[in-house]
Amino acid sequence: MAQVEGRKVLVCITGGIAAYKVVQVARSLAQMGIDVRVVMTASAERFVGAQTFAAVTGNPVATAIFGAEADAPHVELARDADLAVVAPATANALAKMALGFADDLFSAVMLTARCPVVAAPAMHAEMWEHPATAAHVRTLEARGVTMVGPDSGALSSGDFGPGRMAEPDAIVEAAVLALGRSRALAGRAVLVTAGGTQEPIDPVRFIGNRSSGRMGYAIAETAAARGAEVTLVSGPSQLTAGPGVDVVAVRTAEEMRTAVLKAAPACDIIIKAAAVADFRPQLSAPAKLKKAAGPPEVTLVPTTDILGELGADPGLRKPGGVLIGFAAETEPDPERLAELAVSKRRSKGADVIVANDVGSSDSGFDVPTNRAVIAGPHGVADVGLVTKQGLAAILIDLVAELVGGRQPPE
């Protein structure tokens, strides 16, 4: 079992009839030595009194954004949490989480929290099966939320069907598992690269690509949320990295190479998600090229393949470290994508290659989703079409598994 004593878990109770069963969940977690903080919605308080949760957890229960002792209770509660458990998760709660509402303490906490989330949906079967709820659940799962249940069975309305909250023991088990995952990279140093590079033609013009940096930023944030110390070497990007991520801003492929080679020897895990230029202009004009001089002749020369360099020379990296590269391919066929991933893994000397299709409108550069195949030491997995956050979570789980056998450094 994961080490859970002293960890901080938020138990968020929303307004369903199953709220009374969550007393058992909060009690079991508290009995394990977990510091349980309960958040209740106004509807939840109509089902169970806050006093009951205060008694079983030994902590005050938070119910409102305004009027609390802390100036911003949602920020304080979210920042401290190692895990959030939402049980029962009403249809309304799932919708608010998926859409990013923040109009009460519960939803504001969920929007602020960067810790893993376990949700135990409970509702009438019609509500569960409604396409709106189904879409929200898909969104949340793609974002990395773990759903426990619902079970099928007798519902409080007297009907029978899917929508019964999972049993308290199953929720506790999922919470303990998720807590283990939340610190899976504690003590590990992770280097991530993101975004595209810009190769100057003159002081104002460059050769670039359409990479937004979303994939690398999602990986960096997920690694930080799992306890890693993260350095993100980023090409120009509109994004702002989340908490716990140290950003090194670079512009050209050569600047990226310098920053990566500097950080690499201290890093246990290197994930190269940046779209680094393969070619750069041989010369960058010192002054802006004049339109009147006509189209310039630009000679391109190859840049250094940073992933290939790291793969070929283990002396550039921390011994026993894990090296992961991304391969941008215009290849929608998963089988062909898998072949490319396997062959690139071999040729680059990487432990894992994530080949993603950058030729389709819903995958690759500048869109929130990706279609990817992962080739690693245990074989090839076709991830299909997922959000970049979802792919980051899958990748970080794999990385945690790969480094799992070794003790983190002192």
Ligand X SMILES: Cc1cc2nc3c(=O)[nH]c(=O)nc-3n(C[C@H](O)[C@H](O)[C@H](O)COP(=O)(O)O)c2cc1C
Residues annotated as catalytic (active site), given as ranges = 209
Could you tell me which residues are beta bridge partners of residue 194?
Answer: 234
* CB 35 to ligand X: min, Å: 24
Binding site for ligand X (CB under 6 A): 14-18, 41, 43-44, 88, 90-93, 122-123, 127
* CB 107 to ligand X: min, Å: 8
Cis? peptide before 88, omega within 30° of 0 = yes
Distance CA 119, CA 105 (A): 17
The helix/strand/coil state of 74 is helix
Nearer to ligand X (CB atom), residue 23 or residue 123: 123
* CB 62 to ligand X: min, Å: 14
Question: Whose structure tokens read 């998600």?
Answer: 273
DSSP state of 278: S
Cis? peptide before 150, omega within 30° of 0 = yes
CA dihedral for 260, 261, 262, 265, sign (positive or negative): positive
Distance CA 78, CA 106 (A): 10
As to burial, measured by CB atoms within 10 angstroms (0-12 exposed, 13-18 middle, 19+ buried), residue 194 is: buried
Distance CA 397, CA 273 (A): 16
Give which of 292, 215, 200 is closest to 254, Cα–Cα: 200
Distance CA 240, CA 154 (A): 47
* CB 110 to ligand X: min, Å: 11
Nearer to ligand X (CB atom), residue 90 or residue 237: 90
Distance CA 301, CA 254 (A): 12
Nearer to ligand X (CB atom), residue 43 or residue 52: 43
Distance CA 43, CA 267 (A): 47
Nearer to ligand X (CB atom), residue 43 or residue 59: 43
Nearer to ligand X (CB atom), residue 98 or residue 391: 98
Going along 250-407, which residue ranges are E strands?
269-272, 279-281, 300-302, 322-329, 352-357, 369-376, 379-387
Give which of 274, 304, 272 is closest to 197, Cα–Cα: 274
* CB 124 to ligand X: min, Å: 7
Tokens describing residue 167: 């049993």
Give which of 302, 316, 313, 355 is closest to 333, Cα–Cα: 355
Nearer to ligand X (CB atom), residue 122 or residue 394: 122
Distance CA 135, CA 73 (A): 30
* CB 271 to ligand X: min, Å: 37
Half-sphere exposure of 78 (CA within 13 A, CB side): 18
* CB 167 to ligand X: min, Å: 15
* CB 15 to ligand X: min, Å: 3
Cβ contact 266:409 at 8 Å: no
